[in-house]
Structure 1
Amino acid sequence: MNHLFPTYARWEVEPADAKGTKLIDKNGKEYLDFTSGIGVTNLGHRPDSVQAAITKQLNKFWHVSNLFTQEQQAVAAEKLAHASGLAYTFFANSGAEANEGAIKLAKKATGKDKIITFNKSFHGRTIATMGATGQDKVKQGFGSMLPTFSYATFNDIESVKSLIDNETAAVMVEVVQGEGGIHLADSAFLEELQQLCHEYQALLIIDEIQTGIGRTGKPFAFQHYDLQPDIITCAKGLGSGLPIGAIIGKENLKEYFGPGSHGSTFGGNPLSIASAIATMEIVFNEDFLSEVNEKAEYLLEQLKKSLYNIEEVTAIRSLGLMIGIEMNTNTASLLQFLRNDGLLTLSAGENVLRLLPPLTVTVEEINQAVAILKKNIVPVQTA
Structure 2
Amino acid sequence: MELFDVYPRFDITPVSAEGCWITDVNGDRYLDLYGGHAVISIGHSHPEFVQNLTTQLGKIAFYSNSVQNPLQEKLAVNLGRAAGLEAYQLFLCNSGAEANENALKLASFHTGKSRVIAFKNSFHGRTSAAVAATDNPAIISRLNALHQVTFLPLNDAGALENALSKKDVSAVILEPIQGVGGLQMAEASFMEETARLCREHEAVFIADEVQSGFGRTGAFFAYQHSEAVPGIITMAKGMGNGFPVGGILIHPDIHSRPGLLGTTFGGNHLACAATLSVLKVLEQEQLLLNARVMESIFRTQAEGIPGLKQVRGKGLMLGLEMDFEVADLRKKLLYTHRIFTGNSKNKNLLRILPPLPIQENELGLLFSALKKELL
Q: TM-score w.r.t. structure 2 length?
A: 0.95
Residue 178 (1) aligns with residue 173 (2): no
Instruction: Give the 5 Å matches for 1:42-121.
Output: 42-82=41-81, 83-85=83-85, 86-121=87-122
Residue 238 (1) aligns with residue 234 (2): no
Residue 329 (1) aligns with residue 324 (2): yes
- Indicate how the Cα distance of structure 1 residues 40 and 144 shifts in structure 2: closer, same or farther if over 3 A, else same: closer
**Cα distance in 1, alignment partners of residues 285 and 146 from structure 2:** 41
- The alpha carbon displacement at 1:270 in A equals 0.8
**Cα distance in 2, alignment partners of residues 314 and 364 from structure 1:** 23
**Cα distance in 2, alignment partners of residues 216 and 200 from structure 1:** 30
Structure 1 equivalent of residue 343 of structure 2? 347
**Cα distance in 2, alignment partners of residues 138 and 329 from structure 1:** 26
Structure 2 equivalent of residue 33 of structure 1? 32
Residue 314 (1) aligns with residue 313 (2): no
- The alpha carbon displacement at 1:114 in A equals 1.1
Structure 1 equivalent of residue 357 of structure 2? 360
Q: Secondary structure at the match of 1:163?
A: helix
Instruction: Give the 5 Å matches for 1:260-299.
Output: 260-284=259-283, 287-299=286-298
**Cα distance in 2, alignment partners of residues 259 and 233 from structure 1:** 20
Q: Secondary structure at the match of 1:49?
A: helix
Q: Single out whichever of 90-99 and 350-359 deviates more from structure 2.
A: 350-359
- Indicate how the Cα distance of structure 1 residues 69 and 355 shifts in structure 2: closer, same or farther if over 3 A, else same: same
**Cα distance in 2, alignment partners of residues 142 and 63 from structure 1:** 36
- Indicate how the Cα distance of structure 1 residues 146 and 375 shifts in structure 2: closer, same or farther if over 3 A, else same: farther
**Cα distance in 2, alignment partners of residues 219 and 374 from structure 1:** 33
- The alpha carbon displacement at 1:98 in A equals 0.3
**Cα distance in 1, alignment partners of residues 326 and 138 from structure 2:** 18
Q: 2:361 corresponds to which letter in structure 1?
A: E
**Cα distance in 1, alignment partners of residues 137 and 365 from structure 2:** 37
- Indicate how the Cα distance of structure 1 residues 142 and 284 shifts in structure 2: closer, same or farther if over 3 A, else same: farther
- The alpha carbon displacement at 1:284 in A equals 4.2
- Indicate how the Cα distance of structure 1 residues 321 and 259 shifts in structure 2: closer, same or farther if over 3 A, else same: same
- Indicate how the Cα distance of structure 1 residues 113 and 285 shifts in structure 2: closer, same or farther if over 3 A, else same: farther
Structure 2 equivalent of residue 375 of structure 1? 372
CA contact (8 A) 2:129 2:147 kept: no
- The alpha carbon displacement at 1:146 in A equals 2.8
> Which sections of structure 1, spanning at least 5 residues, go unmatched?
none
**Cα distance in 2, alignment partners of residues 95 and 84 from structure 1:** 21
Structure 1 equivalent of residue 133 of structure 2? 132
- Indicate how the Cα distance of structure 1 residues 151 and 284 shifts in structure 2: closer, same or farther if over 3 A, else same: farther
Deviations 1:282-327 (A, max 9, x none): 2245943223211221112111x242xx13x222112001111112
- The alpha carbon displacement at 1:260 in A equals 1.9
Q: Secondary structure at the match of 2:63?
A: coil
Deviations 1:146-178 (A, max 9, x none): 331111111111221232131211111011011
**Cα distance in 2, alignment partners of residues 144 and 204 from structure 1:** 21
- Indicate how the Cα distance of structure 1 residues 137 and 314 shifts in structure 2: closer, same or farther if over 3 A, else same: farther
Identity %: 36
CA contact (8 A) 2:189 2:226 kept: no
**Cα distance in 1, alignment partners of residues 6 and 170 from structure 2:** 33
Q: TM-score w.r.t. structure 1 length?
A: 0.93
- The alpha carbon displacement at 1:84 in A equals 4.4
Q: 1:168 corresponds to which letter in structure 2?
A: V
Superposed CA RMSD: 1.6
CA contact (8 A) 1:110 1:202 kept: yes
- Indicate how the Cα distance of structure 1 residues 361 and 286 shifts in structure 2: closer, same or farther if over 3 A, else same: closer
CA contact (8 A) 1:300 1:318 kept: no
CA contact (8 A) 1:209 1:233 kept: yes
Deviations 1:96-127 (A, max 9, x none): 00000000110111111111010100000112
**Cα distance in 1, alignment partners of residues 328 and 143 from structure 2:** 32
User: Aligned pair count?
Assistant: 370
- Indicate how the Cα distance of structure 1 residues 144 and 278 shifts in structure 2: closer, same or farther if over 3 A, else same: closer
Instruction: Give the 5 Å matches for 1:133-152.
Output: 133-139=134-140, 145-152=145-152
CA contact (8 A) 1:43 1:358 kept: yes
Instruction: Give the 5 Å matches for 1:151-162.
Output: 151-162=151-162
